[in-house]
Amino acid sequence: MFNRIFRIMFAVIGAILGISVIKLILSVVAITIDSSIFLITINVLGALIFAVLFYFLSGVIFTKMEDNFKKLEKYLDQMPPMTVAIGISGLIVGLILAFLATRPLTSLTLPIVGNSIFVLLSIIIYVGFGLLGWRIASRYPDKYPQLFQKVKDVKLTKTKSINQSEISKDNLLKVIDTSVLIDGRILDIIKINFLEGKLVIPEFVLEELQHIADSPDDLKRERGRRGLDVVKEIKKDRDINLEISSVDYPDIKEVDSKLLKYAQDTGAKIFTNDYNLNKVADVQGITVLNINDLANALKTKVLPGESMEIEVIKEGKSRNQGVGYLEDGTMVVVEDGKHLIGQHIRTTVTSVLQTSAGKMIFVKAKE
């Protein structure tokens, strides 16, 4: 329905433009037409040609606009309400400036074509000023309100980067990496109140998630969507002190490098599961919270000689070995346990082996 209305409106604009073009051509060629019927016919024909042309072009334009509106909806859904409100105020300011700028144009006219050209120019100015107002306000949500405060003298820089002196150090600040949002376990950690302080998700992390969610690869696309869903769940919980930070470093291309720079400037801890980012942060003296390290630290601690009950579920790699698992996923290798598959048995721990893949416990059946 909306598509049809849009195309009809576009066709009307085309018809008006067609009549203006016909008048312009007749004035340039300097042809005098005495017959009013012939003049009306030429104007109608020009209007029809341009109307049909604009009608068919509007289909392509509407499709592109619809795609852009869908992207805009996703973009707005990821933004905090305060940023959206400030962006709307910037849009209103832009429209007011456009009104003041186009007011002299409404009184201008050209011979033959009238003021139709100035009307189209006014529409372009309205759209341009409105988008400019929205962009400036939404990009600087922390600085934009300060423009109306006489007490503070804030100078907006040409980049979106924020110097270290402008950011206060906060040891309770935790900046979240893309890998943690994709992993999803942070929701459970938050719900059991194991985190304190403010959680920060920079906009450049959300942009990386958006790129992953738009990937042609099915697996990457699902991972990106899961990360965005985790962000939505965190934002829904009003008990969580969450901030979507607009701080960016345009001179730095890599997201991991931006995270490290942000942590250095703010004194924040980095919440990540990325092994390489973890190592680089350790070298730079930045505190890292790694969910995988937390999970490994919470696994069952056993010593040789302790007893445990285990279910043997499959055959091991070595001869006559059986394999079972603890509730936390730790592998238990039962010596001479191949014939005990499918049984719950009491065992004694003989040794514990820590590998890069995790912990392995070797046991021997008591019976």
DSSP state of 318: S
- One DSSP character per residue, 263-285 reads HHHHTPEEE---HHHHHHHHHTT
pLDDT of 35 above 50 = yes
pLDDT of 288 above 80 = yes
Indicate if 191 and 263 belong to the same structural domain.
Answer: yes
State the pLDDT at residue 239. Answer: 78
Burial of 325 (0-12, 13-18, 19+ CB in 10 A): middle
Indicate if 141 and 58 belong to the same structural domain.
Answer: yes
Indicate if 7 and 138 belong to the same structural domain.
Answer: yes
This prediction's pTM: 0.45
Phi, psi of 363 (to 5 degrees): -130, 165
Indicate if 109 and 196 belong to the same structural domain.
Answer: no
**pLDDT band, very low/low/confident/very high, at 315 (cuts 50, 70, 90):** confident
Indicate if 199 and 221 belong to the same structural domain.
Answer: yes
Domain boundary among 83, 115, 145: 145
State the pLDDT at residue 150. Answer: 38
Indicate if 238 and 183 belong to the same structural domain.
Answer: yes
Q: Dump pLDDT digits (tens) for 269-287.
A: 998 888 888 889 888 888 8
**Over residues 222-235, mean pLDDT:** 89
CA gap 57, 60 in Å, rounded: 6
pLDDT of 163 above 60 = no
Among 53-57, 115-119, 188-192, 277-281, the minimum mean pLDDT is found in 115-119
Indicate if 87 and 203 belong to the same structural domain.
Answer: no
Whether residue 28 contacts residue 112, with contact meaning beta carbons closer than 8 Å, is answered with: no
State the pLDDT at residue 146. Answer: 46
Indicate if 290 and 307 belong to the same structural domain.
Answer: no
Indicate if 16 and 140 belong to the same structural domain.
Answer: yes
Task: Output the CA–CA distances (angstroms, integers) from residue 239 to 119, 230, 236, 344, in the order listed.
Answer: 51, 15, 9, 44
For 155, the token pair is 């100078």
Structure-model confidence comparison of residues 355 and 203, the more confident one = 203
Among 4-8, 164-168, 318-322, 338-342, the minimum mean pLDDT is found in 164-168
Nearest to 239 by CA among 195, 186, 205, 177: 195
pLDDT of 304 above 50 = yes
Q: Is 117 among the domain residues?
A: yes
**Over residues 198-215, mean pLDDT:** 90
CA gap 354, 111 in Å, rounded: 88
Q: Dump pLDDT digits (tens) for 77-98.
A: 666 666 667 777 777 887 788 7
For 131, the token pair is 């988008």
pLDDT of 361 above 50 = yes
Indicate if 99 and 222 belong to the same structural domain.
Answer: no
Total count of domains within the chain: 3
- One DSSP character per residue, 77-144 reads HHS-HHHHHHHHHHHHHHHHHHHHHHTGGGG--BTTTBTHHHHHHHHHHHHHHHHHHHHHHHH-TTTG
Q: Is 202 among the domain residues?
A: yes
pLDDT of 255 above 70 = yes
Q: Dump pLDDT digits (tens) for 100-151.
A: 877 776 666 655 555 666 666 777 777 777 667 666 666 655 544 444 443 3
Q: Residue 58 sits in which domain range?
A: 2-145
Nearest to 362 by CA among 314, 313, 310: 310
For 329, the token pair is 């996923």
Residues 6 or more apart in contact with residue 141 via CB below 8 angstroms: 80, 82, 83, 86, 87, 246
Residues 6 or more apart in contact with residue 232 via CB below 8 angstroms: 77
Indicate if 140 and 26 belong to the same structural domain.
Answer: yes
